[in-house]
């Protein structure tokens, strides 16, 4: 498959370190938000340095000092990059992914070769290296050797079971030397004649022979007419007649060997060695690098687990230049909370609530720039791990984070650390099972500005921190047989707490009674909802998420699908015993009725400005209408730039409509078409205006009140288009009712609330 590489260049000054920010995407556009400071592979093609990692690729142009991200958004086929190799003779960068997918970048086009990824192979399936000779790429794989024709962009041959008597051998590198193919295998070095007689098949093991007495071989490279081979943990040199030991290395492991800009670069654990064309060599004295390339301008390009791309020597001031695009500290995101056009992310832990110890900290995205607590921006103690939920104080904007092990953390509205609440300065309790961890989970503010906290695994698993700084914990008795695994929490319109039990316990609905004195527990009551009929009718007792929508309905996501409780008011005050059980959305496909998302694992549900639901599942993300019966969008890894199908968390900017999707492979965002409605028409924005001939997208009308009627007329008053806003956001595709692009001229945008008491008239110029 061929794609055009669409890139946006980000100009910046080189400094130490260097960051770059992304522009806000246009409507229906995407952008990635990934950490780029850990990189495992690097290569050079012309003036451009390519750096690859589990977050994809970024490049640095050594001439104009621009940085660009290359991802699924601009044409790549996958996410987690394991190896990059350049082939200057064909202007190619060959990309290998962790899952054995492959892309070829050539002349701003991307060609995908997914054959190995899609092929069923027993055992390990990895591509360890790629080597080039003439017009072919030789792939060293866990299962054998694969050859790719670089002109046709397709696999043309493969060899496997090349070991003794046809045993499977894993290969790590291939070199063509003196008309022989040398293959570095896990049990030694193999070789065969590259061109055999007619119909002689290299796929037969008896055509290959073991070279010398090596017991294992890893990397190889040709330089100055000799073959350098890493064998039995040392580097050997073969001149076509005899083997000798390379004497420049230490006893440390050889990480990488590659020829770059006329030099041989050998990366060791404790040094980087340069072999020059004149036979001289030098050592940089730099350690812990994962790979190194050499630039024609005399600089070294190195990648590691700490500093992104390191350039040496550095710029005009010597030393080093550190380069990486701006992004969050890590790929994980247990919670995403938007507040006042600022996205707060808790680095979190595994969604199962069984695996902890995430050191990712907290990230914040504001004004298109990421800041990270691990980079000391927030002064958070390094000992605090697993930030799992977040809430913002309605009074002063302070941000509170629950942590699964270190209690509750309070930051001010700018993100500076204030307090850590634990068992010594609050009603929070340590884990009842014996260790000293203090596991807080769900947190939410009520209408009186009291902060409620679930204290996972504690004897008293619910605490409140009141608006006047009082603390109180609450018991739920033996409701869960002492297994008080309470986690996520929301509050409904009647100020009852809905709390998920992490291990098939359903939902605890907690009524804290008098809202003016929540510390009193004599008037408290609670109810447990399960999948049993008449007692909740949930899709499953394993509840992962829920949301209270703008109509007062509770949407519940489980490991077995979606369900909705439409009348939560009946739970505690129901004298006529009306059924309050959840219902599922039943849709008709052809002649078959089924539950929408029935059987799906629902990870998260979030509301946009139009009360539509974004639903993250293990198989992609869905946008459905307010009532759920209309599917508006469905994004998957296969049909969109989504980084992974397992969408674990969603964050929505109600001001702009941008929707952020988190997965194990990182965060990506999509510019949606709904915003939170305004109270009036004071800040209506029409973009673009004017509309120029080359513009083909939708025109955005933002800053409207909720669900207003929007009409477009020509200057004579003839109706051209009509719609209703999604919350405070409306779009127009620039076409009339016949689907034709409107003619050049001025058009009127007329908006009015349904009562007609408030309205807006704007103008937009079309140029064709």
Q: For position 638, what pLDDT does the model report?
A: 95
C-alpha count within 13 angstroms, C-beta hemisphere, residue 264: 23
In whole angstroms, give the CA distance from residue 138 to residue 161. Answer: 16
Residue boundaries of the structural domains of the chain: 557-676, 685-766
Residue 200 has pLDDT above 90, yes or no: no
- Residues 468 and 452 sit within 8 Å (Cβ to Cβ): no
Tell me the C-alpha to C-alpha distance, in Å, between residue 596 and each of 440, 548, 589, 593: 33, 19, 10, 9
Angle 452-454-456 (CA atoms, 0-180°, nearest 5)? 165
DSSP 108-167: TEEEEE-HHHHS--SS---EEEEEEETTEEEEEETTEEEEEETTTTEEEEEEE--SGGG-
Note whether 557-676 and 685-766 share their fold.
no
CA distance 517 to 406: 28
Choose among 132, 125, 162: nearest CA to 147: 132
Query: What is 303-323 written as a DSSP string?
Result: E-SSSSEEEES-TTT-S-EEE
Does residue 137 have a pLDDT over 50?
yes
pLDDT at 195: 72
Report pLDDT for 697: 87
Q: What is the pLDDT of residues 30-53, one digit of tens each?
A: 999 999 999 999 999 999 999 999
What is the dihedral sign for C-alpha 305, 310, 313, 318?
Answer: negative
Q: Kindly give the residue spans of alpha helices, DSSP state H, lying in 198-299.
A: none
Mean pLDDT, residues 104-112: 95
Tokens for 484, please give them.
């008080």
What would the 3-class secondary structure string for 680-693 be?
CCCCCEEECCCECC
DSSP string, 509-567: EEE---TT-TT--TT-EEEEE-SSTTTT--S-S-EEEEEE-TTS-EEEEETTEEEEES-
DSSP helix, strand, coil percent of the chain (3-state; round to 5): 5, 45, 50
- pLDDT score at 355: 64
- How high is the pLDDT of residue 350? 56
**The pLDDT of residue 323:** 94
pLDDT at 682 over 90: no
Q: Please give the Cα distance from 505 to 597 (Å, whole number).
A: 21
- Cα(9)–Cα(66) distance, rounded to whole angstroms? 6
pLDDT surpassing 70 at residue 756 = no
175-192 per-position pLDDT tens digit = 999 989 999 999 999 999
Q: Let me know: does 239 contact 229? Beta carbons within 8 Å.
A: no
The DSSP line for 270-291 is: S-EEEE-TTS-EEE----S-SE
In CATH terms, 557-676 corresponds, of 3.40.50.300, 2.130.10.10, 3.30.70.3340, 3.30.70.580, to 2.130.10.10
Q: 15 pLDDT band (50/70/90 cuts)? A: very low
Is the separation of the CB atoms in 537 and 550 below 8 Å? no
pLDDT at residue 674, as a whole number: 87
**What are the tokens at 176?**
């063509």
- Of 527-531, 571-575, 581-585, which gets the smallest average pLDDT? 571-575
Residues 6+ apart with CB under 8 A from 552: 492, 493, 568, 569
What is the dihedral sign for C-alpha 42, 288, 35, 637?
positive
Segment 161-181 shows an average pLDDT of 93
Q: What are phi and psi of 461, to 5 degrees?
A: -85, 5
CA distance 474 to 455: 10
Question: How long a stretch of residues is the chain?
Answer: 768
pLDDT digits (tens, 9 = 90+) for 301-360: 999 999 999 999 987 667 899 999 999 999 989 999 998 889 999 998 755 666 668 889
Residue range 685-766 in CATH 3.30.56.10: no
Report yes or no: 171 and 229 within 8 Å, Cβ to Cβ.
no
Helix (H, G, I), strand (E, B) or coil at 357: coil
Distance of CA 15 to the CA centre of its chain: 27
**Assigned token pair, 545:** 């998420």
User: What local confidence, expressed as pLDDT, does residue 352 receive?
Assistant: 63
Q: Is the pLDDT of residue 10 over 50?
A: no
CB 522 within 8 A of CB 534: no
Element (H, E) at 59: strand 56-61
């Amino acid at each position: 498959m061929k794609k055009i590489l669409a890139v946006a260049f980000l100009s910046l000054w080189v400094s130490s370190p260097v960051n770059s920010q992304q522009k806000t995407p246009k409507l229906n556009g995407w952008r990635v938000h990934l950490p780029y400071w850990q990189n495992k592979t690097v290569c050079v093609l012309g003036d451009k340095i390519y750096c690859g990692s589990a977050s994809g690729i970024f490049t640095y142009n050594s001439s104009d000092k621009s940085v660009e991200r290359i991802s699924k958004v601009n044409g790549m086929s996958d996410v987690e990059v394991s190896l990059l190799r350049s082939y200057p003779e064909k202007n190619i960068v060959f990309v290998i992914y962790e899952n054995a997918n492959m892309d070829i970048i050539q002349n701003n086009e991307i060609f995908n070769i997914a054959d190995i990824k899609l092929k069923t192979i027993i055992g390990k399936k990895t591509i360890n290296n790629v080597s080039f000779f003439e017009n072919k790429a030789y792939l060293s794989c866990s299962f054998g050797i694969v050859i790719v024709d670089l002109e046709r962009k397709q696999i043309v041959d493969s060899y496997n079971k090349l070991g003794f008597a046809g045993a499977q051998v894993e290969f790590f590198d291939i070199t063509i030397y003196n008309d022989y193919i040398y293959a570095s295998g896990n049990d030694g070095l193999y070789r065969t004649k590259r061109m055999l007689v007619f119909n002689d098949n290299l796929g037969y093991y008896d055509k290959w022979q073991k070279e010398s007495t090596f017991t294992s071989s890893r990397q190889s490279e040709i330089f100055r007419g000799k073959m350098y081979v890493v064998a039995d943990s040392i580097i050997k040199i073969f001149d076509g007649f005899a083997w000798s030991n390379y004497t420049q290395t230490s006893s440390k492991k050889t990480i990488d060997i590659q020829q770059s800009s006329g030099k041989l670069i050998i990366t060791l654990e404790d040094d980087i060695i340069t072999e020059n064309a004149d036979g001289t060599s030098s050592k940089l004295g730099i350690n812990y690098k994962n790979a190194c390339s050499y630039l024609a301008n005399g600089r070294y390009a190195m990648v590691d687990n700490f500093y992104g791309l390191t350039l040496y020597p550095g710029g005009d001031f010597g030393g080093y230049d550190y380069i990486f695009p701006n992004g969050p500290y890590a790929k994980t995101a247990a919670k995403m909370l938007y507040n006042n056009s600022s996205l707060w992310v808790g680095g979190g832990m595994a969604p199962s609530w069984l695996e902890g110890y995430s050191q990712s900290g907290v990230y914040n995205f504001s004004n298109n720039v990421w800041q990270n607590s691990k980079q000391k921006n927030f002064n958070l103690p390094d000992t605090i791990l697993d930030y799992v939920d977040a809430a913002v104080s309605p009074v002063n904007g302070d941000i509170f984070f629950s942590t699964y092990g270190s209690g509750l953390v309070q930051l001010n509205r700018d993100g500076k650390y204030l307090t850590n609440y634990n068992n010594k300065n609050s009603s929070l309790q340590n884990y009842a099972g014996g260790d000293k961890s203090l596991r807080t989970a769900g947190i939410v503010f009520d209408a009186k500005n009291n902060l409620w906290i679930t204290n996972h695994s504690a004897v008293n698993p619910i605490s409140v921190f009141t608006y006047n700084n009082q603390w109180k914990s609450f018991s739920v008795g033996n409701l869960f047989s002492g297994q008080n695994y309470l986690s996520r929490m929301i509050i409904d319109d009647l100020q009852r707490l809905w709390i998920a039990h992490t291990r098939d316990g359903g939902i605890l609905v907690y009524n804290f009674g008098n809202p003016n004195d929540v510390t009193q527990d004599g008037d408290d009551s609670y109810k447990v909802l399960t999948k049993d009929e008449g007692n909740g009718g949930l899709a499953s007792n394993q509840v992962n998420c829920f949301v209270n929508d703008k109509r007062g309905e509770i949407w519940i996501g489980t490991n077995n699908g979606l369900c909705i409780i439409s009348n939560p008011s009946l739970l505690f005050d129901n004298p006529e015993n009306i059924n309050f059980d959840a219902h599922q959305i039943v849709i008709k496909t052809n002649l078959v009725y089924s539950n929408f998302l029935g059987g799906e694992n629902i990870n998260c549900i979030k509301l946009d400005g139009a009360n539509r639901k974004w639903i993250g599942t293990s198989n992609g993300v869905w946008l459905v209408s307010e009532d759920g019966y209309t599917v508006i969008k469905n994004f998957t890894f296969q049909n969109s730039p989504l980084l992974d199908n397992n969408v674990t968390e969603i964050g929505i900017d109600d001001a702009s409509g941008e929707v952020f999707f988190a997965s194990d492979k990182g965060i990506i965002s999509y510019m949606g078409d709904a915003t939170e409605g305004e109270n009036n028409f004071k800040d209506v924005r029409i973009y673009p205006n004017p509309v120029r001939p080359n513009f083909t997208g939708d025109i955005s009308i933002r800053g409207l009140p909720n669900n207003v009627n929007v009409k477009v007329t020509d200057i004579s008053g003839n109706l051209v288009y009509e719609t209703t806003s999604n919350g405070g956001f409306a779009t127009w595709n620039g076409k009339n009712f016949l689907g034709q692009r409107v003619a050049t001229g001025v058009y009127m945008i007329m908006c009015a609330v349904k009562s007609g008491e408030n309205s807006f008239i704007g103008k937009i110029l079309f140029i064709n």
